[in-house]
Structure 1
Amino acid sequence: MTRIAYIVADPGIPVFGRKGASVHVQAIVRAARARGHEVHVFAASRGDDVPSDLAELPVSVEPVGSAPAERRERAQRTAAERLADAAVRWGPDVVYERLSLFSTAGARAAAGASARLIVEVNSPLVEEQARHRVLVDEEGALADVAATLAAADTVIAVSAPVAAWAVRRGADPARTRVVPNGVDPARFVPADPAAAPPTGRGEGRRPITVGFVGTLKPWHGTQTLVDALALARNAGADLTLRVVGDGPERRELSRRADAAGVPAVFTGSLAPEDVPKEYALMDIATAPYPAEADDYFSPLKVVEYLAAGVPVVASRVGQIPRLIDGCGVLVPPGDPAALATALSDLAADPERRTALATAGRARAVERHSWDGVLEASLAPSTSPAPAATRVAS
């Protein structure tokens, strides 16, 4: 049994939250515990949506609180130092840190406990913060990132662009791996096709439900999705929309769907443990990212769609072609007409939907389980890692 201190010093990522980052934290913890490891989480934010299977997970919290940007950044650094000290007192064999701004907690804890350090990198944090939010001490943020990456025994990046960024910022290429996000195939399972009425027009049949899961922000392309459904319905396709999630775009999406005559259900934000059952209500799942979407992301929703046995229609951006090639439908980003055609064609072809669903499920189980992600992450840097790609210098 290995004692793993999981550090997530980002105050915007609650351990028990509803965003994708929180789902990622919980998934790694589950995979580690399932392998018999002892896990203690050290975090800046705990959150309130505690899944029943993680109710006994020990979580130590050093809150940052709200303050103007400059003071908040200093508070983040102080909280990270305290998290590191708490982790050292616990005595881990491995420190696993989700790279966070203004944190060298992982490096401090690993050094203090003589433990191995694994650093997980999910985005080009410094540039992302400067572009989308507020970053005062950019020089300090870059220095903290460089120190953490240089100290890491293994760096785990969710995509090749993120791995390249990490190497530029101080990671050793020989110790850096690309390990995309995963899914728990036991939690996301295909629905029983006999449990729902058949689709298509006619008595006793129901419309095709097109689904989307995620935060409703502009870079997810949901307005294009609504426009595509309107075009498809005008051409005769019997489609409805189901949106699982919430965000600043919700009101406009609802207005847009009403104006276009697209029947739509918006569930609002759901706790992660309530999301899997939503896939049973979808016949087609979508990831309609626009052309300007960042290419470094590793979309959780797509691997969840695959595992749940829902055929996927998604934009040809970032890692998505690699994820669904041969088991999904790719469309040009930001093109409602192309998306409408793909949805209409798939809606009219139940045999193809079944074939894609079967292939997608097999792909998720074989290549994208969280257990496989953890195995690749924990493997020593001196040996080949399953499901991982090494990064050239």
Structure 2
Amino acid sequence: MRIAYALLDPGIGVFGTKGASVHVQEVIRALRADGHHVTVFCTRVNDDVPADLADLEVRRHRLPKGSGAAREQAVAAASAAIAEEIAAGDFDLVYERYSLFSDTAARLTEPAAPGDRAIPSILEVNAPLIAEQRQHRSLADEAGAWATTRAQLRGASLVSCVSETVAAWTREEGADPARVVVTPNGVNTTRITPAPRPVTVAEADAAPDAPVTVGFVGTLKPWHGTDVLLRALARTGPRLRLDICGTGPQQEELERLADELGIADRVRFRGAVAPEHVPAFLHGLDIAVAPYPAGEHYFSPLKVYEYLAAGLPTIASAIGTLPDLLVGGELGVLVEPGDVAELADALDELAADPAHRAHLAAAARAAAVREHDWRIRCRALLARLEAGAPIGVSA
């Protein structure tokens, strides 16, 4: 199958290092692994090109410099141009990551001109972007954003949502319920693997005072709860160390906090790390953490899927999709969101129990391979589409 992958969000580079870019790359890898030919149409590329994607065909539509209304209009214009380019090609499917002011897939699935070929489409929705843009960035033309969003939701053959909360939002905004499917995030279990030689229970028992490395992967922003993790670490025994993979606007603040808490010598801030180096980073951990604070949690954290695939015992906040993902605690330890004391106790207890860590690690890896590989996710989507998802605008 020839697939046109459309990514018009100017904040996401196809070859970037943050989670959204990793998500894009992994979906493309999964589709290519099953023999599909993927061509990417985008507005941003970035320079961290993984070796296995060096041959990926990427057609970039550059946006003019600017912000606010001018940038929004430029994305809309790029969407129309990309739709024309895809229509002129011989593509079997359009896979679009939902972006504000883009309606590329909808234009192709329900073409305006009579007689033009309709191309089936999958619209991947990861968040209610209008609310996010309004709250965290700026939105000049909210009416225009809603118009293109509703066109996308009504026009796509299939609307693939990262969680049930997001799926409910798409239905409220006009997506036909028959076309909406929940597709949680996944992980490349070939790229993310357990450490070649994990420490055995016997070795850990024989060295009860050996350092235990706790790890976090992600952008350093308040809604990831890294400050909670630092405060919890300050309450744990001195053998625990924290290794942070990622950067973001909160990094300097977090470095100051580590200093104030007296744990700066126990914390390493690595900064931005290219996705190709993340597997090696995970191999150096004993425990992984997803310390989300309380609040709205409609997403499906990539980091936790990577922790599972790496065979890491994981501590995560009991919020959003995480209790189900960790099977109520069978695949990891769940703690109350934002509870510093409970997180500290969980860290100390897991550090002191190598047998429990080994059990969680084995169960996590098995679940990742069995249920959460990106190839499983993509195959299910394509099967759902082929099973009879309707094409065209819903009534």
TM-score range, shorter chain: over 0.9
Write out per-residue CA displacement over residues 66-116 of structure 1, whole angstroms, 9 at most, x where no aligned residue: 313011111110111111122122221001111110011112234354211
Amino acid at match of 1:70: A
CA contact (8 A) 1:92 1:113 kept: no
> Secondary structure of 1:360's partner?
helix
> Secondary structure of 1:18's partner?
coil
Q: Distance in 2 between matches of 1:380 and 1:152?
A: 13
> 2:96 maps to which residue?
97
Residue 182 (structure 1) shift: 0.4
User: Among residues 121, 125, 141, which one is paired with 2:129 in the alignment?
Assistant: 125
Is there any run of 5+ residues in structure 1 with no aligned partner, and where? 386-393
Q: Distance in 2 between matches of 1:137 and 1:376?
A: 36
> 1:390 maps to which residue?
none
**Structure 1 residues 91, 218: closer, same or farther in 2, change over 3 A?**
same
Q: Distance in 2 between matches of 1:167 and 1:194?
A: 45
> 2:274 maps to which residue?
271
- The answer to whether structure 1 residue 217 and structure 2 residue 227 are counterparts is no
> 1:290 maps to which residue?
293
Write out per-residue CA displacement over residues 132-151 of structure 1, whole angstroms, 9 at most, x where no aligned residue: 11111111111101111111
Write out per-residue CA displacement over residues 325-363 of structure 1, whole angstroms, 9 at most, x where no aligned residue: 211000001111000000000000000000001111111
CA contact (8 A) 1:174 1:381 kept: no
- The answer to whether structure 1 residue 245 and structure 2 residue 259 are counterparts is no
Residue 21 (structure 1) shift: 1.0
User: Among residues 130, 139, 145, which one is paired with 1:141 in the alignment?
Assistant: 145
Amino acid at match of 1:297: F
CA contact (8 A) 1:199 1:208 kept: no
**Structure 1 residues 354, 195: closer, same or farther in 2, change over 3 A?**
closer
1:28-67 matches, within 5 Å, as 28-67=27-66
- Between stretches 261-270 and 274-283, larger displacement belongs to 261-270
> 1:207 maps to which residue?
211
1:4-23 matches, within 5 Å, as 4-23=3-22
Q: Distance in 2 between matches of 1:113 and 1:221?
A: 48
Q: Distance in 1 between matches of 2:198 and 2:367?
A: 23
Write out per-residue CA displacement over residues 138-179 of structure 1, whole angstroms, 9 at most, x where no aligned residue: 111111011111111111000000001111112110111001
Amino acid at match of 2:218: G
Write out per-residue CA displacement over residues 225-275 of structure 1, whole angstroms, 9 at most, x where no aligned residue: 011011113xxx520000000011111222222332321111110111111
- The answer to whether structure 1 residue 328 and structure 2 residue 303 are counterparts is no
> 1:312 maps to which residue?
314
User: Among residues 156, 179, 185, which one is paired with 2:183 in the alignment?
Assistant: 179
CA contact (8 A) 2:205 2:354 kept: no
> 2:393 maps to which residue?
none
Q: Distance in 2 between matches of 1:327 and 1:288?
A: 16
1:79-98 matches, within 5 Å, as 79-98=78-97
**Structure 1 residues 122, 138: closer, same or farther in 2, change over 3 A?**
same
Residue 364 (structure 1) shift: 0.9
1:354-373 matches, within 5 Å, as 354-373=358-377
Q: Distance in 2 between matches of 1:200 and 1:128?
A: 47
User: Among residues 161, 167, 177, which one is paired with 1:163 in the alignment?
Assistant: 167
CA contact (8 A) 2:107 2:155 kept: no
Write out per-residue CA displacement over residues 190-233 of structure 1, whole angstroms, 9 at most, x where no aligned residue: 11345799457959x63100100000011110011011011113
The TM-score with structure 2 as length reference comes to 0.92
Write out per-residue CA displacement over residues 268-290 of structure 1, whole angstroms, 9 at most, x where no aligned residue: 10111111111111100000000
Amino acid at match of 1:24: H
**Structure 1 residues 89, 383: closer, same or farther in 2, change over 3 A?**
closer
Amino acid at match of 1:98: R
CA contact (8 A) 2:212 2:239 kept: yes
> Secondary structure of 2:244's partner?
strand
CA RMSD of the aligned region, Å?
1.9
CA contact (8 A) 1:13 1:21 kept: yes
May I ask how many residue pairs the two structures share in their alignment?
A: 379
Matched-pair identity in %? 50
Amino acid at match of 1:303: Y
CA contact (8 A) 1:200 1:206 kept: no
> Secondary structure of 2:235's partner?
helix
Amino acid at match of 1:41: V
Q: Distance in 2 between matches of 1:45 and 1:127?
A: 23
Q: Distance in 2 between matches of 1:270 and 1:206?
A: 27
Amino acid at match of 2:291: P
Amino acid at match of 2:289: T
